[in-house]
């Protein structure tokens, strides 16, 4: 199963059991939302399909070239007469994906 197929399956899952509590349904919805986000963030997007949007939260992306070399590159759009999208440092980028969000420590609920 591909990531896209899994995303669609989770999005359209219905739990019709009348004995399921509202709290359970909320947790299930949260899990589905988290799953969709994780799957969407871990898939390669071919540059032939699209480039990142300038409005994207981060300007850095994981990219791969035609030889399989991966690196983190900054994304730009040139300011020429004919603006062109490009990644810094790599000419032959074939696909890209978002980087994960930076780590943020969570406060322990068990603090005294």
Do 35 and 55 sit in the same domain of this protein?
Answer: no
**pLDDT at 96 (0 to 100):** 93
Instruction: Report the C-alpha dihedral over residues 65, 67, 70, 76, rounded to 10 degrees.
Output: -20
pTM over 0.85: no
Do 36 and 54 sit in the same domain of this protein?
Answer: no
Does 15 reside within a domain? Answer: yes
Residue that wins the pLDDT comparison between 96 and 37: 96
Q: Which residues pair with 93 in a beta bridge?
A: 65
Q: Is 60 exposed, middle or buried (0-12, 13-18, 19+ CB in 10 A)?
A: middle
**pLDDT at 67 (0 to 100):** 93
Dihedral angle sign, alpha carbons of residues 85, 60, 89, 43: negative
Does 66 reside within a domain? Answer: yes
How many structural domains comprise the chain? 2
DSSP labels, 28-40: HHHHHHHHHHHHH
Do 15 and 31 sit in the same domain of this protein?
Answer: yes
Three-class SS state of 3: helix
- Please give the residue range of the domain that contains residue 38: 1-43
Q: Per-residue pLDDT tens for 49-98?
A: 999 887 665 688 999 999 999 999 999 888 888 888 888 887 799 999 98
Do 31 and 55 sit in the same domain of this protein?
Answer: no
């Amino acid at each position: 199963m591909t990531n896209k197929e899994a995303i669609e399956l989770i999005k359209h899952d219905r739990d019709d059991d009348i004995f399921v509590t509202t709290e359970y349904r909320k947790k299930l919805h949260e899990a589905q939302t988290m799953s969709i986000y994780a799957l969407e963030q871990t898939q390669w997007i071919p540059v032939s399909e699209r480039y990142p949007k300038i409005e994207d939260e981060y300007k850095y992306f994981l990219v791969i070239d035609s030889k399989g070399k991966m690196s983190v590159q900054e994304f730009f759009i040139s300011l020429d007469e004919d603006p062109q999208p490009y990644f810094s440092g790599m000419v032959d980028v074939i696909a890209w994906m978002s980087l994960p969000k930076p780590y943020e420590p969570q406060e322990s609920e068990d603090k005294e």
